[in-house]
Amino acid sequence: MQLLCPQILILLSAIGNALAILRDTGSGVSCESSAFDLPEVLGTRIISLRATPIFNDSLALDRRDVPDRLSTLPGAIDDGLDYCNVSLTYTHPGLNDSINVAIWLPLKSHWNGRFMGVGGGGFNTGYSADSSFPYNGIGANFSTMWTSGGHVYPTREDPFPDPAPWGLASPGVVDFNGFNNFASLTLHEATLFGKAITENYYGRPAEYSYWNGCSQGGRQGHMFAQRYPDMYDGILGAAAAINWVDIFQFMLWPQIVMNQEGQFPSLCELEAIKEAAIEACDELDGLKDGLISANSQCTFDANEAVGRLYNCSGEYVQVSAGAAQVANAAWRGPLNIDGTQQWYGTSKDTDLSPIANTTISSNGTREVNPLFLPHDWIRVWIAKDATYKPALATYEDFDHFFHTGHQIYDSPIGTVDPDLRAFRDAGGKFLTWHGVADAFIPFDGTVDYYNKVLQRDPSIDDYYRFFPVPGIGHCGGGPGAKPDSSLETLVNWVEKGIAPETLLAMKKSTNGSIEYQRPLCRYPFFTVFVGSDPNLVESYECRESF
């Protein structure tokens, strides 16, 4: 009997928590499927709606080993959460598709009055509930929504499912309905459903609506600002994949060069070249900190590192001319067949291992090993053949990828429209940041977009602000300091009118403690070291040049 007592107490506690959610006081409805009104969104038909009370949810504890790519508010928690989980499935009549939307609703007594849409990554429109991403919203008491976009949710075991099953209707035929769902349509519909469910549950609409995403989620945020400008009051869209075709060309380019030139450098060689570049260009910004902040002023050529010895896990490796050729190609960016520039390259302190990786066969032969993102894009949507191997393509094939991609896909998924006047006039605020050392999406692509918006509308800083982040990779990682306070900054801009001149970035140790903090200046200003202690925020100023 003594052994059963703790179990009985746990069971009674669980029952009590569940009943508390079901009886969540306040206006609106209870967390029961039958209590919700089915919202109507033009062009859709709801298949099912299920509301389930969730209590003491600690699933996020299993995800703390995964780098956090989304920003949240101070004091947010990711375990012990009580909320109402609404799962909605709908279809577009006549298209035979099935789209899932999840809306997590905090207890009525805890809700902060805000709604948050959470973005996806890669070819995932949104994430599954076993990832940490939904907890960024619910943990801070936002009503939180995300969508499958019409294909399977990723899981921890399969975080980036093969897109071929939904990308191709059959070999050689793209499923353009499915692609349109992924590109924009379901984002809009899911937001409408999420807002309606939120208002139904609480008996009042959200006071403010926010979008939170990085990479694919950053592209989605820009899509909202451009196509659905009145959906969100504030959008946080970082490291955005807005230059859709161009970024895949960039990610595949080093592999094309490697295969065509027969050069397959080791990752140690590429690391040695990166270290040589940092050594040459680190102090261009006036501070030796292991980062290249003034990348546009760094004239270092990878050939200068040829012959350099690098200690790779106790074994010295000498940098080859082939490794320098590959590094220079990644830094310069992809080229057309006539030698003209296709798109931007990456910073010279970027980790090139994701885009210049190789495999070693049993006999020691090296071969290309492309990143899955450009590999999937080309084989599914350009070649329309799930068995195609893009990294083995010729320079002529690569040129074809570029032009075909723009011809077919700029309209459905292109997200580089610089006309944000409708978003501006709706009162929206957009905050974006981008790691200068991003190995997936060239930082200069975001600079290019900002300048085009600025050229069209000189008042851009009233509603769109962009912050470069030295030393940070794709959505995080790297030796630099990351702006974890960006969502809080956006909320203050939207709700209090405090436009950010800087973002506070923090470098954290492996145990989560803060090693140092640094202000990040909004582009086109630069963060310049002017003090004596580089670990102090007050040692930096925002200036027009280094």
| Mean pLDDT along residues 98-115 | 97
Token representation of residue 524? 């086109």
- Enumerate the H helices of 414-537 as residue ranges: 421-425, 443-456, 486-496
Of 347, 215, 217, the residue nearest 277 (C-alpha)? 347
Query: What's the pLDDT band for 8 if we cut at 50, 70, 90?
Result: low
Comparing 130 with 499, which gets the higher pLDDT?
499
Q: Give the pLDDT of residue 3.
A: 47
pLDDT band at 65 (very low <50, low <70, confident <90, very high): very low
Question: What pLDDT was estimated at residue 5?
Answer: 55
Q: What is the mean pLDDT of residues 458-482?
A: 96
For the cut 90, the answer to whether the pLDDT of residue 45 exceeds it is yes
Q: Are residues 136 and 76 in contact, defined by beta-carbon separation less than 8 angstroms? A: yes
Residues 21 and 31 sit within 8 Å (Cβ to Cβ):
yes
Mean pLDDT of 46-55: 97
- The pairing of strands 502-508 and 114-118 is unpaired
Lowest-pLDDT choice from 130-144, 193-207, 389-403, 434-448: 130-144
Choose, from 132, 215, 293, 485, the residue flagged as catalytic. Answer: 215
Peptide bond before residue 390 is cis, with ω within 30 degrees of 0: no
Mean pLDDT computed over 25-32: 86
- Per-residue model confidence (pLDDT) at position 513: 83
361 in active site: no
Strand order in the sheet with 464-469: 45-57, 81-91, 99-106, 143-147, 114-118, 208-214, 234-238, 429-435, 464-469
The answer, yes or no, to whether residue 1 has pLDDT greater than 50, is no
Mean pLDDT calculated for residue range 346-353: 97
Helix (H) or strand (E) holding 404: helix 395-413
Check whether 173 has a pLDDT greater than 70.
yes
Output the pLDDT for position 514. Answer: 86
pLDDT confidence of residue 12: 53
Kindly report, residue by residue over 358-398, the tens digit of the pLDDT. 998 888 889 999 999 999 999 999 999 999 999 999 999 99
Is there a catalytic annotation at residue 438?
yes
Q: Are 237 and 213 in contact (CB under 8 A)?
A: yes
DSSP per-residue codes, 64-107? TTSPP-S---TT--SSSEEEEEEEEEEE-TTT---EEEEEEEE-
Instruction: Check residue 26 and give its pLDDT.
Output: 72
pTM of the model: 0.94
What SS3 class is residue 167?
helix
Q: Is 484 helix (H, G, I), strand (E, B) or coil?
A: coil
Residue 15 has pLDDT above 70, yes or no: no
The tokens describing 271, both together, are 């690391």
Residue range 316-338, pLDDT digits in tens: 899 999 999 999 999 999 999 99
Question: Catalytic one among 151, 444, 474, 484?
Answer: 474
Who's near 200: CB < 8 A, 6+ residues apart? 28, 29, 36, 37, 39
Contact criterion met (CB below 8 Å) for 69 and 477: no
Distance CA 443, CA 25 (A): 48
Cα gap 475→482, rounded to integer Å: 9
Comparing 65-74, 363-372, 385-394, 468-477, the range with the smallest average pLDDT is 65-74
Mean pLDDT for 445-455 is 98
> One-letter amino acid identity for 20?
A
pLDDT digits (tens, 9 = 90+) for 402-447: 999 999 999 999 999 999 999 999 999 999 999 999 999 999 999 9
- Cα distances from 408 to residues 38, 123, 174, 224, 404, in angstroms, run 36, 18, 11, 21, 6
Q: What is the pLDDT of residue 511?
A: 78
pLDDT band at 7 (very low <50, low <70, confident <90, very high): low
Residue 14 binned pLDDT confidence (cut-offs 50, 70, 90): low
User: Residue 68's pLDDT band (boundaries 50, 70, 90)?
Assistant: low
Active site residue 474: yes
CA dist 404 to 122, 330, 409, 449, 505, Å?
21, 22, 8, 22, 40
- The whole-chain average pLDDT of the chain stands at 92
Residue 21 has pLDDT above 70, yes or no: no
Which stretch of 173-182, 441-450, 453-462, 505-514 has the lowest confidence by average pLDDT?
505-514
Q: Can you tell me the mean pLDDT for 199-224?
A: 97
Question: Which range, of 67-71, 274-278, 458-462, 495-499, averages the lowest pLDDT?
Answer: 67-71
Give the integer Cα–Cα distance in Å for 175 and 226: 24
Q: Is a pLDDT exceeding 90 seen at residue 16?
A: no
The tally of CA atoms less than 13 A away on the side-chain side of residue 207 is 8
Return the closest-CA partner of residue 514 out of 487, 537, 541: 537
Cα distances (angstroms) measured from residue 457 to each of 422, 423, 424, 544: 12, 12, 10, 20
CA contacts within 13 A on the Cβ side of 100: 16
Least confident of 12-16, 218-222, 278-282: 12-16
pLDDT, position 141: 95
Query: Confidence band (pLDDT; 50, 70, 90) for 9?
Result: very low
What is the structure's pLDDT at 153?
86
Q: Which residue among the candidates 438, 484, 485, 486 is catalytic per the annotation?
A: 438
Q: Kindly indicate the confidence band of residue 546, based on its pLDDT and cuts at 50, 70 and 90.
A: confident
User: Tens of pLDDT along 85-95?
Assistant: 999 999 999 99
What does the DSSP assignment read for 408-447? Answer: HHHHHH-------HHHHHTT-EEEEEEETT-SSS-HHHHH
- Interior/surface letters 413-452, b for 16+ CB within 10 angstroms, e for the rest: bbbbbbebeebbebebbbbbbbbbbbbbbbbbbbbbbbee
User: Stretch 242-249: mean pLDDT, rounded?
Assistant: 98
